[in-house]
Structure 1
Amino acid sequence: MNKLNTITMNKFKFLSVALFASASVLHAQDINEVKKQIDAEQFQKAKTSLKSIIKSNPSEGKAFFLLGNIYLNQSVIDSAKISYDEGLKAKDNAHFNSIGLGQIDLEKKDLAAAKAKFDAAKAQMRKKDFEEYIYIAKAYMDNSYPDYKAALAVLAQAKEKNPTEPQVLLALGDAFYGDKNQNEAFSAYRSAFQADNTLIRAKMQLGVLLKGAKAYQEAVAAYNEVIALSPNYGPVYRELAQTYYYWALNAPGRYDQYIKQALTFYEKYMSLTDYSLASRMRHADFLILAKDYKALEIEANKMKELDNVNPRIFRYLGYAAYENGHIDEAISSLEQYINNPANKIISLDYVYLGQAKIKKGTNAEDTAVDPALYAEGISFIKKGVELEPSVADGLGELGKKYYEKKMFKEAAAILEIATSYKESKSFLLDNFYLGNAIYFANAGKPVAERDMESLKKADAAYANVLEASPDTVDAYISRARTNSLLEDDQAMIKYYQEYIDRITAKGAEELAKPAVKTKLIEAYNTMGAGYANFDKAKAIEHFNKTLAIDPTNKYSLQSLKSLQ
């Protein structure tokens, strides 16, 4: 009997060990499946899977860690921290959660605290482990303040132990790419795919490198090779969408065609990943880039149905409403977003609210102005540019719209902001319009009513044009006129003379043009009037130059009569 009990107990122990081993293998398979979902950017599906694993096996610390990573990726930092903290209590693989908490420290720029947590995680590694190194490297790369050198240093340790591990090589490719070392990134990605030809992301990244080099046609060909291998791999369609978007910007003649293709590929990406709120927000961000505001409005309203209180939805509603002409809704939505101190405000939030206020301050023809609303709009746009100077690029078009309606003071307020960004594609043109807007806003006014400080800005704007493009001869005329309003005869004479010298150098054919003759007459007459204040002989000389072009010019004839 005792012998039978012993045999039974041994069988029970064996069965328990077998069941435990089977469960461990099952959970490992589940975790590996989740990793595939995360790689495929099916984040909602991965979250559901991880929550299920945690519920059935709360001892698996890696599940908490991966769930925290998804929350962190979606900028839900509080939820990420809760998940990591719970994961630290788990029986197995708890140390991975120290890496997650370290990444939160990196977001706070607390490098020492992050390193301490990473070191704690590494202390739990076994001899041949490498995954911890990869996640530490990703922590350095995937945060608001990436440090690719630190990531490369960590991955060097991983490669030393596992020189042919595909995941290590893939992570190295990402680190080299972030560090702008294209050659090493290419080598790492290629080696990763050669080591494991099921590692589709490594193959896709070879196309990403081509996209970064603006070899768009070659990048598309590389992505098509990925699709031939794995037609349902969602991220490749996102990369195709982004590639066609950049291609559209660099091929203006095909902009509409390529933007349409970009949007089609992004829809395909969405269909293969998920339509969760987080995914819809990424889609909305892409729609803003592609300037498809009708689709953005539809997407924003779908997001509102999913989560009526998520604050970022008001950003998208505000942008779409402004672009689609619903100004009151734009102001309401953007104020609701910006006035919430918990929200992270970006430059475009202020710029859109500013433009909406300006639009609200004018009538349907953009002529009547509510000065208070207009000024408020300008102040919001300035806030946006202070946050990110590059958003000034493109504001010149808005300024030109008011300039063309002869609302010169209003146009100048916008153009002054536009010209604050020297890298703008329209920097010279915006400066020219700024100078003109200020000039025309003051022309014809008595000296006492002129805005002399603004006129000095107009002079500086023309100086910017001439510095970059000295052959823009009309800018000399404009600068001379501005200095005439500034009552600076010396500067006025200098710039008119510069115009005369440059236009004369173009030859007799140019001088014979009626428009040029008109400007020469203006130059000689105004210079003559200026010289009359301090050099009578020079004044007479210039009035006679006018008469050489137009013998009946009344102003010159009268001026000469008064000088004699």
Structure 2
Amino acid sequence: MNMNKVTILSVAILASAFTVQAQDINQAKKAVDAEQFESAKTILKTIIKDKPANGEAFYTLGNVYLTQKIQDSAKIYFDKGITASDEGQLNYIGLGQMDLNSNNVPAAQANFALATKEMKRKDFQEFIYIARAYMNAEKPDYKNALTTLNKAVVINSQDAQLQLALGDAYYGEGKQNEAFIAYRSAFQLDSSLLRAKMQLGVLLKGAKSYDEASKAYNEVIAINPNYGPVYRELAETYYKIARNKPSQAAANYKIALGHYDKYMSLTDYSINSRMRRADFLILIEDYVALEVEAKKMIELDKVNPRIYRYLGYSAYKNGNVDVAIKSLENFINSPGNKPIALDYLYLGLTKIKKGTNPEGTAIDSTAFKTGLMDIKKSIEMEPLAVQELSAVGKNLFTQKMYKEAASIFEFGASTPESKSFLDDNVYFGLANYYANSGKDVKVDIVALQKGDAAFDKVLVASPIYLEAYLYKARTNRLLEKDDLMVKNYEDYIAKTTALGAEEIAKPAVKTKFVESYNNMAASFANTNKLKAIEFFNKTLAIDPTNNYAAESIKILK
């Protein structure tokens, strides 16, 4: 046998095997870009099984798991990948991103240094991957990403993936013009890089040019109608349109969901992709569909705690309080979970709902009190969560459950940065007053003092809300602080009178003036009869038939 022929054949076989391997990696990367993560995982696991020396396959697979927030699996593949003889150093980058996720920047930088330790003069891919790690971390660091990418630019500025990464980094930094140039360059360098062209539409969406964004996405679809991510972007664009045009919201939400379902059909129907769809259902506030989806997901994966968040949210919105409480408590109490403010907020509001009824007659005080505790946890995590509470408080107020309403409004009344701050203080003051103004009610001095202070805040924020003076007077009357009551009534009368004759001629204002003069007169009846008679005469000047004033003058004389 001709040995040269055998050698040539062997080389040809090796070259063929390398080409197949390279195609497989590229196929996996294309699946990742198309957000077909389950397909990518299958391809990569096959490569690892056949070629355990392929470090890039370990790194890419670990990154897929990081994208899906499955940290344990990601670390397993990064740790194994380090020992691979071919591109094993890339896995240090994956471990570096995990360090960033843990806020351990020095450890991350140490891992990045290990990844770049043996780079050759013309190597630059490691810089792109490190920049991606900075951008994909739970707290993205676009500044360091750009610094790293600029090292690659010096070596090869004409790489399409480098330009795409630059576009993402500039976009993250809010530098729209630079991002546009980079995305355009990436697509010009590689016309198969549809993500770069799609991102041009994302820039337009960010600029609220929704029609132009949709046009850009449709250009991507014209090139490849099976590129899934573009339909997700279309869905999110129609969501934005719906939010911008409330009168057409229902129709645009329907279009948005149609595009999202198309995205799902072109990616995969794994539990992770279903969760992405569930996130979108929360975004468009389709809680009926979300509850259906959550129940389907539980059938597929009974141990994934995140599903209970979706079921809890949707059950709360759909009025299924017991399911909501059980589901949210399952999620919050599952080891390893990181509850967010909204989890505690919805749990608390569900318990509030369980503790009351539409008639406002029966109260499960235990459920209500524990609900308040959960809401407090939510606000400690995110103060602006109070903005979700106003409608709940107003509903309780309408049901004349004033004490319960006050306990809800107090959160917003204590948060100046909330857009409902003024409104919440008004209702907080009113609720505390009405809760203590009924017959046979034991006056809660602390609650009334809080109400009085709330009206002070109202007058600072809105000096023209003159009713605040009136309610301060009524509150101080319940507190038996006659001197303050008189001052409040005097302030109300003086500031209302300053508005002119037309204002004080209104029947409702006349009634309030009569209330003011009668209460001021009564406060002076035992200490200054002349002053009392003066105020009662002012009442009679407005309402000559006022029996209380007329009879009181007779007694005082």
Give the drift of 1:473.
Answer: 2.8
1:310 aligns with 2:301: no
1:421-436 mapped onto 2 (5 Å cutoff)? 421-436=415-430
1:123-522 mapped onto 2 (5 Å cutoff)? 123-363=117-357, 365-444=359-438, 449-522=442-515
Q: Residues 266, 460 of structure 1: CA spacing in aligned structure 2 closer, same or farther, 3 A cutoff?
A: farther
CA-to-aligned-CA distance 1:329-360 (integer Å, 9 cap, x gap)? 22222222222232221222222222222222
Which deviates further from its counterpart, 57-66 or 463-472?
463-472
CA-to-aligned-CA distance 1:225-271 (integer Å, 9 cap, x gap)? 33333322221222222222233233322222222222222212111
8 Å CA contact retained: 2:55, 2:85: yes
CA-to-aligned-CA distance 1:178-227 (integer Å, 9 cap, x gap)? 22222322232233233333322222222222322333333333323333
8 Å CA contact retained: 1:392, 1:420: no
CA–CA separation in structure 2 for the residues paired with 1:9 and 1:531:
123
CA–CA separation in structure 2 for the residues paired with 1:83 and 1:388:
35
CA–CA separation in structure 2 for the residues paired with 1:149 and 1:486:
58
1:42 aligns with 2:36: yes
CA-to-aligned-CA distance 1:5-62 (integer Å, 9 cap, x gap)? xxx3322222222222222222111111211111111111111111111112111111
1:70-109 mapped onto 2 (5 Å cutoff)? 70-109=64-103
Give the drift of 1:477.
Answer: 2.0
Q: Secondary structure at the match of 1:325?
A: coil
Choose which of 548, 552, 555 in structure 1 pairs with 2:545: 552
- Which residue identity is paired with 1:231? P
CA–CA separation in structure 2 for the residues paired with 1:538 and 1:228:
86
8 Å CA contact retained: 2:360, 2:400: no
- Which residue identity is paired with 1:501? A
Which deviates further from its counterpart, 153-162 or 183-192?
183-192
- Which residue identity is paired with 2:501? A
- Which residue identity is paired with 2:101? E
Number of residues of Structure 1 aligned to a counterpart in Structure 2: 557
8 Å CA contact retained: 1:393, 1:421: no
CA–CA separation in structure 1 for the residues paired with 2:528 and 2:200:
72
CA–CA separation in structure 1 for the residues paired with 2:243 and 2:220:
24
Give the drift of 1:423.
Answer: 4.0
- Which residue identity is paired with 1:325? G
Q: Residues 116, 323 of structure 1: CA spacing in aligned structure 2 closer, same or farther, 3 A cutoff?
A: same
8 Å CA contact retained: 2:358, 2:399: no
Gaps of 5+ in 1: none
CA–CA separation in structure 2 for the residues paired with 1:351 and 1:374:
13
CA–CA separation in structure 2 for the residues paired with 1:288 and 1:494:
51
8 Å CA contact retained: 1:169, 1:189: yes
When the two chains are superposed, the root-mean-square deviation of aligned CA atoms in Å is 2.2
- Which residue identity is paired with 1:397? A
Q: Secondary structure at the match of 2:88?
A: coil
- Which residue identity is paired with 2:104? D
- Which residue identity is paired with 2:182? A
CA-to-aligned-CA distance 1:269-294 (integer Å, 9 cap, x gap)? 11111111011111111212222111
Which deviates further from its counterpart, 544-553 or 54-63?
544-553
Name the TM-score, length of structure 1 as normaliser. 0.93
Give the drift of 1:137.
Answer: 0.9
* Structure 2 residue aligned with 1:115: 109
Name the TM-score, length of structure 2 as normaliser. 0.94
CA–CA separation in structure 2 for the residues paired with 1:372 and 1:46:
50
8 Å CA contact retained: 2:274, 2:297: yes
Choose which of 4, 9, 16 in structure 2 pairs with 1:15: 9
Q: Residues 502, 261 of structure 1: CA spacing in aligned structure 2 closer, same or farther, 3 A cutoff?
A: farther
